[in-house]
Chains A and B, each alone.
Chain A
């Protein structure tokens, strides 16, 4: 009998053995698949978000300068522009006007921002897809804002931002500088913060140090820090991942521990009978290797495929309640499938290998004792 034929016979026997305990084994495969699914979904989701953030935020400003008063972010005087512009290595510096508007009717928060090159006339706004959905408004209609002094300001919607921009602009409202100041009461000569472009990105840290000396009441945030924050939030050892990973890893440990602490009397008797009819210890071990490989590889494949569909086709719908929190306005977006095969390989070795090793170890102990003792 050829080696291949021998292996196929063992696989045939292993499958028959698995099918003799259909409820237990299908439940095992289901739980195993669910664990891989949840771990895989988190890994795929966080990897895709991190990758997208790293691509997109490379266009973020080289540096932001905020003014801090009593530990809080405060309006910054435009006179600071000249001080920063005079620092060596600064290519350009401009003010940003932006702020948060709480829509008490809908309970949603919007971000109002004044673009550098407006393209809007006073009295007009352009709104993000999320704002349009929450307010149920369309191009040409009016949007009402309650200003800082109680006055109601109506602005006409000139357009809705392009679909596909939700990941960065779902809650944005483009507004002209004059209207922004009317809504929030920001005085002339002040802005929300300043953005700086450096001649050479390598010099940003040095410029930040000079800014903190020249303007001690300010705080600088560099692009590297912005990128680092998204790496931290969505790191696979981070908070979101940590919550899901902890539960799933414990579930997997219980599964592996249950397997490793011993075979059922029925499984022991089966091994004894096999040895009594002439199977070697190595044949029994081979059967157990196939058994655990069939269970773990098929669960891994099913779990990862389901995780892929969940994250990249179903828009991570199971994570939605966690991600939404108390947000009324939540961006609907489809992540671009950036898949890190190293992460998948780590997941494979973290789940399939320990499970298989635990199964073989306990089977080896049962396979080496005499058949007579096992059957009795």
Chain B
């Protein structure tokens, strides 16, 4: 067998796997419709505003509800100290990507 045949066979396997990933993505999305419905119903019932991603600080648990200086207001000269504070950046209006809240 020529080396190029082996290369093409490997690339074909890679492409088939990529195709399988695309099929998996489609199947998983339709299978998740029940979970999405459940989550939508809970958000509507409870008037929830945020995803539960980071529970360590109030401004990372509910970033949409935090005010401008929440991470720094524990005491005067307080600095942000929670690790996820480095991931959850300041809200859009501070960066100029959103309108300032009234």
Contact = CB atoms under 8 A, between A and B. Distances in A.
Interface string A44-62: 0000010011011101110
Given A71-B67, A301-B14, A230 B51 contact: yes
B52 A331 contact: yes
Interface residues of B, number: 66
A230 B88 CA distance: 9
B55 A330 contact: yes
- Chain A's interface size range is 35 or more
Given A73-B67, A220-B101, A11 B35 contact: no
Interface stretch (A80-88, A151-159, A204-212, A270-278): A204-212
Interface in A61-112: 61, 64, 66, 68, 71-73, 94, 96, 100, 108-109, 111
A277 B21 CA distance: 46
B2 interface: yes
Interface string B49-63: 111111111101111
Contacts of B67: 68, 71-73, 219
Given A211-B102, A225-B93, A226-B49, A165 B39 contact: yes
Interface in B63-93: 63-65, 67, 69, 73, 82-84, 86-89, 91-93
A103 B92 CA distance: 32
Contacts of B47: 60-61, 94, 96, 116, 195
Interface stretch (A176-184, A231-239, A351-359): A231-239
Interface in B13-72: 14-15, 17-18, 21-22, 24-25, 28-29, 32, 34-36, 38-40, 42-58, 60-65, 67, 69
Interface in A207-225: 208-209, 211-212, 219-222, 224-225
A370 interface: no
A226 B51 CA distance: 11
Contacts of B73: 71-72
Interface in A157-181: 161-162, 164-172
Contacts of A328: 55-56
Dominant secondary structure of chain B at its interface with chain A = helix
Interface stretch (A137-145, A280-288, A302-310): A302-310
A113 interface: yes
B52 A167 contact: yes
A30 interface: no
B65 A64 contact: yes
A12 interface: yes
B52 A231 contact: no
B41 to A, nearest CB: 8
B92 A232 contact: yes
5 contacts: A52-B51, A66-B65, A115-B46, A164-B35, A169-B42
